[in-house]
Structure 1
Amino acid sequence: MDAKRYIVHIDLDSFFVSVERKFDPSLIGKPVIIGGSKDRGVVSSASYEARAYGIHSAMPTRQALKLCPHAIVVRGTHGRYSDASREVTQIIHDMVPLYQKSSVDEFYIDLTGMDRFYDPYKLATELRQKVIRDTGLPISFGMASSKTLAKMATNSAKPNGQLWIPHGKEKEFLAPLNIRKLPGLGESTCQKLYQYGLEKIGDLQRVNLKFLEAVFGKMGLFIYNKANGIDDSEVAPHGDRKSISIEHTFESDIKDQRTLENILIAMTEELAGKLRRENKLASCLAIKIRYANFETHTQQQKIAFTAAEHILIPGIKNLLRKSWNHHRPIRLIGVRLSNLCSGSYQINLFEDNEERIRLYQAMDDINFRFGDKTICRASGMEIGARTFNPFLAK
């Protein structure tokens, strides 16, 4: 008999706002927006007070200020977020046997088997209390039998709370929730389900799998499994990877080319920096596009071994032009660098001058010392999202 799984999802609440409030307590209790300029910037993170006005991440700052004119806009201090993230990561690293850092403010922990020696929920509680005590940052967690359920439990526990879904209670927990609460279901999918009178997850639990497959094709099984709490995905710690990737699901579908290109630039810079830190090179790049109806396309291209974004970014932009139907708004976008091997990124810069080589070395040194993306292309700072850019969060 398989051991009961104990999966914990940990999420730092309004991470960037919380970090800024540590340095400026006058922001506590006020509607705060972390983001770019009022004219062309977007919201990176918003306090719960600001969210009450309908403000959310990736919203243009201009629009957010129309919803809440008295909101306080903070440009953000990127190094602070990286430092805080590293501090939390170290605490988790010291206390648990297996964890996965899925973003700058989000972690999955696998405590399966720990129940023979220790109460997993008690351990997760002690971990949360230590993070709060040592960092002063609010944090929430959910514990359940799978990653999906643990994440949904965290969302129910926010802000600054915790929740355990006991084994055997998964479907009971899910049943009263709106189908919008299921991770991975887009707006168009929800609207289609509403048309069939399916509003609660409990409604979906009573639907036959064959019906869902007839209506949604391959996505039918995905919906069925999510609604019934079925998720066998593993908590995957960092290892000797053959590829690295980042993807982001938009809260609202996007079809503005400049926005998409800027996001891709920020993603590619982030991945290229990781390659150089790990002394690796990639020889294949790819992008992933998912439309509102969940139709997904990938396009890839072989390249000479590199870890330099001045080579990678034009390739990624070219793949976007090849794979995207400009009339269709995009729900999810991602970048993957694969066919990795060990090697210094300088070997692919032999055609460049010393100035460019020194520039990469200087950028990496600054980012290593003061936090990821302390220095990067201006276009990569305009827009981003928490899943790929360590300065942008919920």
Structure 2
Amino acid sequence: MSAKRIIMHIDLDSFFVSVERKFDPSLIGKPVLIGGAADRGVVASCSYEARKFGIHSAMPMKQAMRLCPHAIIVRGAHGRYSEASAEVTEIIRQSVPLYQKTSVDEFYIDYTGMDRFHNCYQHASEVRQRVIRETGLPISFGMSSGKTVAKMATNQAKPNGQLYIPHGKEKAFLAPLNINKIPGLGESTAAKLYPYGIEKIGDLQRTNLKFLETILGKYGRFLWDKANGIDEGEVVSASERKSISTEHTFHANISDRQKIETILVSMTEELASKLRRENKLASCLAIKVRYANFETHTQQEKIALTAAEHILIPGVKNLLTSAWNSNRPIRLIGVRLSNLCSGLYQINLFEDNEERIKLYQAMDKINFKFGEKTVCRAAGMEIGTRNFNPFMRG
């Protein structure tokens, strides 16, 4: 019998604001906006005091100042955030056997099996207190049997708190929460569910799986699993991962190049965002094409180190051109990014103007925080990228 999984999720509260407050304590307790110029810039991060006015990251600074005219604008400093993140990472590295850094201010830790030797929740509490003591930064964590519930527990524990959801209690914890609390569930999906009276996660738990798949396709299964606390996602050490990939199997063999290209672009965007969340860059790009007769071909090329769609997507299109044969229907396609190494590629919310950020927002439904979690580049707009659901994989 396998050991019960014990997963901890850590998130540094209002990370950029908290770092700035260490250097300028007069900012404590005040509405603070981190970002660019007041006329055309955008909000990279904001304090909880500012959020009470409806302000959120990636909002135009002009709009934020209309909502809260007395807010204090601070021009961000990349170096400070990198140093603070490195401090926290080193404490975690020294304290636990296996962790995954998914952004500049977010981590997963796998305690599975350690309950034979330690009280895992107590140990996690001690790690949190050490971070607070040694860095002066507020931090929250959630602990449960899987990554999704642990992350949602963290969100409920904020600000500066901690929450443990025991095995068997996941569904009861999730049930009263609004469906928009599920990570990755965007406004458009919520809008499809609300008319059926599905507003709380408990409603999703009681909904027939076949019905969900009817209105949402394979994404319905993904949501149903999340609503029921089912998440087998592993905590993967970034140092161990040498490549990331995703595949899509068609229900019927396909010869429509436009549709194939659309899906390849969407998969590339998904993988690029994962790279940025993990502080990774790729130097090799490949696509896999499996034809109707199950013959499989791989096309690949070396590229400059990157995690940017505007570089990766043209490469994917070129590889498809090399592999394309209009007389051979395709059964499966895949994208792989490999030869990974540590490094940052990020859209600079401190420098980009409002118009560019609006374009990024329109093309990516995941609202990343500044750093690795940032708004995606608007690649693939001309071919309707978002008609493809990145969770619909074979």
The TM-score, its normalising length taken from structure 1, stands at 0.71
1:83-104 deviation line (CA, Å, top 9, x unaligned): 0000000000000011000000
- Percent identity over the alignment? 61
Deviation of residue 40 (structure 1)?
2.0
In the other structure, the counterpart of 2:371 is 389
CA distance in 1, matches of 2:152, 2:347: 35
Whether the aligned pair in 2 keeps the contact of 1:81 and 1:390 (CA below 8 Å) is no
CA distance in 2, matches of 1:30, 1:341: 41
Change (3 A) 1:314 1:211: closer
2:57 counterpart of 1:61: no
Deviation of residue 11 (structure 1)?
0.3
CA distance in 1, matches of 2:42, 2:70: 17
2:151 counterpart of 1:151: yes
Deviation of residue 315 (structure 1)?
3.4
Amino acid across the alignment from 2:133: R
1:236-294 deviation line (CA, Å, top 9, x unaligned): 0023434369xxxxxxxxxxxxxxxxx99x979969x955xxxx7324499xxxxxxxx
In the other structure, the counterpart of 2:252 is none
CA distance in 2, matches of 1:121, 1:149: 15
Change (3 A) 1:228 1:390: closer
In the other structure, the counterpart of 1:358 is none
Change (3 A) 1:233 1:274: closer
In the other structure, the counterpart of 1:33 is 33
Whether the aligned pair in 2 keeps the contact of 1:282 and 1:305 (CA below 8 Å) is yes
Change (3 A) 1:313 1:56: closer
List alignment gaps of at least 5 residues for structure 1: 246-262, 287-299, 323-335, 343-363
Amino acid across the alignment from 1:282: C
Amino acid across the alignment from 1:74: V
In the other structure, the counterpart of 1:315 is 311
Change (3 A) 1:62 1:239: same
2:304 counterpart of 1:306: yes
In the other structure, the counterpart of 2:70 is 70
List alignment gaps of at least 5 residues for structure 2: 246-268, 289-297, 319-334, 361-366, 376-394
Deviation of residue 24 (structure 1)?
0.2
In the other structure, the counterpart of 1:132 is 132
**C-alpha RMSD of matched pairs (Å):** 3.5
Change (3 A) 1:122 1:137: same
Change (3 A) 1:176 1:308: closer
Change (3 A) 1:54 1:314: closer
Whether the aligned pair in 1 keeps the contact of 2:285 and 2:312 (CA below 8 Å) is no
Whether the aligned pair in 2 keeps the contact of 1:268 and 1:313 (CA below 8 Å) is no
In the other structure, the counterpart of 2:283 is 281
Whether the aligned pair in 2 keeps the contact of 1:44 and 1:391 (CA below 8 Å) is no
How many residues are treated as equivalent by the alignment?
313
Change (3 A) 1:378 1:204: closer
In the other structure, the counterpart of 1:348 is none
In the other structure, the counterpart of 2:160 is 160
CA distance in 2, matches of 1:23, 1:65: 23
Whether the aligned pair in 2 keeps the contact of 1:283 and 1:306 (CA below 8 Å) is no
Whether the aligned pair in 2 keeps the contact of 1:177 and 1:201 (CA below 8 Å) is yes
Whether the aligned pair in 2 keeps the contact of 1:11 and 1:139 (CA below 8 Å) is yes
Change (3 A) 1:100 1:49: same
Change (3 A) 1:77 1:305: closer
